[in-house]
Structure 1
Amino acid sequence: MINNKGDSCVGEQTIKQSKAIYWASGIVSVCGIIFEVLFGAAGSYLLGDGVKQYTLTISLFLTGMGIGATISERVTKNLILSFVWIEYLIGIIAGSSTFLLFGISAFLSEGTDAFFLYAITLVVGALTGVELPILIRKANDIGVTLKKSTARVLFSDYAGGLIGGLLFVYLLRPEFGLVKTAFLVAVINVVIALWILLYFKKELQTFKRHFTAGIAILVFLIAGVFFGEEMAFSFEQKLYRDPIIYSETTDYQQIILTKEQGDLRLFLDGQLQFSSSDEYRYHETLVHPAMATAEKRENILVLGGGDGLALRELRKYEEVKAITLVDLDPKVVALGKTNRDLVQLNEKSFEDERVKVLHEDAFKFAEHHSDQFYDVILVDLPDPNNESLNKLYTLEFYQLLRNRLAPGGSLMIQGTSPTFATEVYWTINQTIKEAGLYTENLHVDVPSFGDWGFVLAKREPVKLDQADIFVETKFLTNEVVAGLTTFGKDIDNEIVNDDGQPVSIETNTLMKPTIIEKYEKAWRSY
């Protein structure tokens, strides 16, 4: 009887310990996948080209896991302490990662931030790769067969990965941001380590020393949760010339407003969208040539433009009956409606009863609203610096917009800088032509941007010389518009390479997105 009771107690203890290991493997897997996508998001925000950054960080993280799995073969003793200290290291390194990344971006030379991000990703991936083999080995040591321990730990890992991804997308990133999320998840790693340490306390002679170290690390990370974001904000301020007056990370992008001596500036994912000192040059060129060349000006579509500045110019036309503005991010539009400085700049344009706002992807809107036709379409979207934006500069997208144009209608597209990104600008122009539209090219000097290009397109030949701008403007006149169509020899469509040979312009399509690499290469020098 005594032996049976003893065996029963041992069996119960084995079951409890194995369950603790499975729960630990699932929870640290949640943390691992969150760190993996967190690094991709941080790279996308600070370094641009989201697809590239996610690809690199995921690849490096998985490579690190492979390295870690190999290293784990040498860990055969003190399995619980090895697991605990791996969690401690993940907590310290991964928890501080985004905080340090913002600091490096603010104070060190360009390129250092990318090196740091990739190095951290590889290291954290390697530490994550050591976790599971240790847990599997420990589960096997306490009496669970190797087959069962491996299968169950891996199930906990994979299920945890799904949960981690969903948590990051729908809760952590939008509610806490990148810096606080890193510290919060690191806290979970350390808490799990302390829990496992307590669970296997009887096996450890040096329990107090390791537990005290874990508590100290936990206090550090909790301090990071409460104060890290504020300090990182001061680092982020260094990335901008003027004081930040508004900052928010939305489901789609990072929004920054700065202001200094009356100059209001909007940045999306670190890219300048306008400066209040000269934005009228950009927005007048975006709006009025298209309005002047359209046969009718009753039904207008604006893609992007959530700041309301293009709407301000459109409101000057009494014959306009309806303006549909499509902007993916409701937070940008909310800013345009409520921020005192921005409302003053856009002259309360969202209060116009003719304005209807839809929060949709511009491509999907053009694809699904096939029964709507517009006299003027204005495309005021960010530059094509990633895959999601590239689709809005493709042949397929321009074909959709062509089909939405009413007879005699005009389409105006911002086309980045023909000076800084010459090949990109003329690729956009060529792609629009391939969609079956006639084009006219314009560029304007916007001091905060530099030389900036636009493409005016119609189903019929564009007769810009017959256009009459009759509304009140600060910059544009009929004579000025005529001058905007002249390009210097160094930025015209006769592009040559370094050897003086002509460069052929390819059409940008969904299947072959040629424009992203050109854009990244062009702006790398500026």
Structure 2
Amino acid sequence: MKKHRLLLVTTFIISGCSLCYELIISAVSAYITGNAVLQYSVMIGLYMSAMGLGSFLSRYVRTELFTVFVTVEIGIGVLGGFSSVSIFLANIYIANYHIIMYAITIGIGILVGMEIPLLTRIIEKSHGNLRMTLSAVFSFDYIGSLVGALAFPLLMVPYGGYLAAAFVCGVLNSVAALLIIWKYTDHIRYSWTYKILTVGVGTVMLLGIIFSGNISHYIEEGLYRDTVIYSEQTPYQKLVLTRHKDDIRLFIDGNLQFSSMDEYRYHEALVHIPLAQIDAIQNVLVLGGGDGLATRELLKYPNVQITVVDLDERMTAMAIKHPVLRALNKDAFSNPCVTVINKDAYEFMKENKKQYDAIIIDLPDPNNEALSKLYSNVFYRLCYAALSEKGILVTQSTSPYYAAKTFWSINKTLASEGFVVYPYHLLVPTFGEWGFNMATKHALHKIHPVNKVDTQFVTPDNIDSLFVFGKDEIPSEPIAINQLLHPVIIDYYNEAVRQWH
């Protein structure tokens, strides 16, 4: 088997790339469409089925094994390397872009499915020991898959993004093809043609890596209506800041987080309505809110110590350093009364021993499993323990009009953990009708107006109306509690997305 070490190294490379392509396409699909579980399930299932078809088709290759194998590698390098950029561009310019995405997935899957059977036959044909051949090939195949699975989330996406990750794999497939051509030139028909072709493909992929930032900027200009003034792929999410005249907008993984034209409505309702219900405010915990806008509102209260817990260090760093975001949040995170902790909110609450007078939950919508747990009964149980007896909690709760089931599931989940819950809502023009759930350990005697701080939207006269809901904002069917191990809120949210998009 020593003479075939190069072929086994090739197996290692192509297996790692194969797994990465599978993850890249699934991640891009989830990024564009949402509903990560469904997209990963569909794309991985389709990819694996196509691999089975490719493995079946390899039986019809009876001669020129090396030539066919090199052709397959080059094909995977081209199709896989351009997979991300092709899917993103299809999303911009083609109404039924799913057809392109599925076609790319099936194409890569078929070619990947042919790789291992062809390589196994090449080694077995010259070595003559099928038992040893299979054990060696599959050992390198599985180890390569592990390396690819780790490299994708830990290295490729954080440091390059989806486009660069695909181009890197395209380069590696080209290298694998070139190794085979170099070592087994005599077994490959038109070997010089293949050498030139492989070097050409590898060069194009390298250029793709080098200019991936430029390509990404061009795609983002198509994905986002306004001019992109900041873009960064962090280890956790894609951050994009856009500008149109005086309107600044923040997007996380393609989802709008705020517009500077009306964000004050959202943040005043989120912060000042609950804080008006308690007398003494000393310690406030903000979960999420990495843009600093909720903290800006909290700093209107004197002598308040604020702890902000946000998972993404790059998000809070942008809020501290980017001049546009700093201007919006008024340098909130630089205030000595504010402590920023970069940690998962769920893990923070599990380890927390302190109690707070107010807990402000300003997290993205529950559109995936990682976020769903932050709207679960167990998470609210942790929040209950962290809230002082006379304290108050508030969480953004999506739209009671566009996502009514989601909104009332959050309401019911809070109540299931012993909270007395007060739902309210308002119009945020950018988002439409938007809702919050305010919760206390003991019932409030009345809803107090906001009159201790300056506001642009909330007034003593309009606060009562915010707690009144229309008939079309209250679901007629029973709504389930969002449990940690049964995250119904994702289904509710995705149902709303399908209905309104």
**Same fold by TM-score greater than 0.5:** yes
Instruction: Check whether the contact 2:274–2:392 (CA below 8 A) recurs between aligned residues.
Output: yes
Relative distance call for 1:464 and 1:86 in structure 2 (3 A) is farther
* Amino acid across the alignment from 2:332: S
Which residue of the partner structure matches residue 196 of structure 1? Answer: 180
Give distance in 2, aligned partners of 1:446 and 1:58: 38
Partners of 1:113 and 1:253 in 2: CA distance: 23
Give the equivalent residue in structure 1 for 2:221.
237
Q: What residue number does 1:507 align with?
A: 481
Q: Do the aligned residues in 1 keep the contact of 2:373 with 2:484 (CA within 8 Å)? A: yes
Superposition pairs of residues 418-437 of structure 1, within 5 angstroms? 418-437=400-419
Equivalents in 2 of 1:415, 1:340: separation in Å? 29
Q: Name the residue aligned to 2:70.
A: 84
Residue 463 of structure 2 aligns to a residue in which SS?
helix
1:119 corresponds to: 103
Candidates 368, 371, 378, aligned match of 1:389: 371
Give the deviation of 1:462 after TM superposition. Answer: 3.1
Among candidates 274, 278, 297, match of residue 290 of structure 1 = 274
**Aligned-pair Cα RMSD in Å:** 1.4
Q: Specify the alignment match of 1:250 in structure 2.
A: 234
Unaligned runs of 5+ in 1: 1-13, 497-502
Say whether residues 1:326 and 2:309 are aligned partners.
Answer: yes
1:265 equivalent among 240, 249, 254: 249
2:12 aligned to which of 26, 29, 47: 26
**Shift of the alpha carbon at 1:415?**
0.4
Match of 2:194 in 1: 210
Displacement of 1:218: 2.5
Deviation at 1:519? Answer: 0.7
Query: For 1:504 and 1:186, how far apart are their aligned partners in 2?
Result: 50
Shift of 1:87: 0.6
Residue identity matched to 1:357: V
SS of the equivalent of 1:356 reads: strand
The alignment status of 1:344 with 2:327, answered yes or no, reads yes
Change (3 A) 1:232 1:336: closer
Aligned ranges for residues 347-386 of structure 1 at < 5 Å? 347-369=330-352, 371-386=353-368
> Aligned match of 2:37 in 28, 32, 51?
51
User: How many angstroms does 1:482 deviate by?
Assistant: 1.3
Once the two structures are superposed, what CA deviation does each residue of 1:173-216 show, in whole Å capped at 9, x if it has no partner? 11111111111210110121011011111223421222222233
Q: Is the 8 A contact 1:289 1:464 kept in 2?
A: no
**Residues 278, 446 of structure 1: 8 Å contact kept:** yes
- Which has the higher mean CA deviation after the structures are superposed, 79-88 or 232-241? 232-241
Letter in 2 for 1:489: K
CA distance in 1, matches of 2:395, 2:445: 17
The DSSP-based 3-state class of the residue aligned with 1:375 is strand
Distance in 2 separating the partners of 1:468 and 1:235: 44
| 1:107 aligned onto 2:93 | yes
Gap change, CA 1:205 and 1:287, over 3 Å in 2: closer
Query: What fraction of aligned residue pairs are identical, expressed as a percent?
Result: 37
Measured in 1, the distance between the counterparts of 2:387 and 2:451 equals 21
Question: 1:402 is matched with which residue: 367, 384, 388?
Answer: 384
Corresponding residue for 1:135? 119
Report the AA paired with residue 139 of structure 1: I
Contact 2:449/2:459, CA 8 A, preserved across alignment: no
- Give, as a single letter, the amino acid of the residue that structure 2 aligns with 1:98: S
TM norm structure 1: 0.92
* Structure 2 match to 1:7: none
Q: How far is 1:237 from its partner?
A: 1.3
The whole-number CA distance in structure 2 between the counterparts of 1:131 and 1:379 is: 49
| Partner in structure 1 of residue 298 of structure 2 | 314
The CA deviation string for residues 35-60 of structure 1, in whole angstroms up to 9 with x for no partner, is 11111221221111222222222222
Aligned residue in 2 for 1:179: 163
Question: Which region of structure 1 is more displaced relative to structure 2, 278-287 or 216-225?
Answer: 216-225
CA separation in 1, counterparts of 2:439 and 2:446? Answer: 11
Alignment partner for residue 427 of structure 2, among 445, 450, 460? 445
Distance (Å, rounded) in 2 between the aligned partners of 1:117 and 1:400? 41
Contact 1:99/1:228 (8 A) holds in 2: no
In the other structure, the counterpart of 2:262 is: 278
Report the counterpart of residue 151 of structure 2 in structure 1.
167
Alignment check: 8 A CA contact 2:286 2:359 kept:
yes
Which has the larger Rg?
1
Q: Deviations over 1:355-379 (max 9, x none)?
A: 111111111111111x210100000
The structural deviation recorded for 1:287 is 0.2
Could you tell me how far 1:220 is from its partner in structure 2? 2.7
- Paired residue secondary structure (2:287): strand
CA distance in 2, matches of 1:114, 1:518: 23
* Structure 1 stretches of at least 4 aligned residues deviating more than 6 Å after TM superposition: none
For the Cα contact (< 8 Å) 1:263–1:276, is it kept in 2?
Answer: yes
SS at match of 2:195: helix
Residues 463 and 52 (structure 1 numbering): CA distance in 2 closer, same or farther, change over 3 Å?
farther
Q: 2:7 is aligned with what amino acid?
A: I
3-state SS, counterpart of residue 127 of structure 1: helix
Alpha carbons 1:45, 1:254 under 8 Å: kept? no
1:466 aligns with 2:452: no
What's the CA shift for 1:76?
Answer: 2.0
Aligned pair in 2 of structure 1 residues 464, 82: CA closer, same or farther (>3 Å)? farther
Alpha-carbon distance, 1:32 to partner: 0.9
**1:391 to partner: Cα distance:** 0.6
Contact 1:94 1:124 in 2 (8 A): yes
Aligned length: 500
Q: Which deviations, in whole Å up to 9, do the C-alpha atoms of 1:301-344 show, x marking residues without a partner?
A: 00000000001010011141x11100000111001000101101
For residue 29 of structure 1, report the CA deviation from its aligned partner: 0.7
Residue type of the alignment partner of 2:484:
L
**Which of 483, 490, 500 is 1:516 aligned to?**
490
Q: Which runs of 5+ in 2 are unaligned?
A: none
* Secondary structure of 2:251's aligned partner: strand
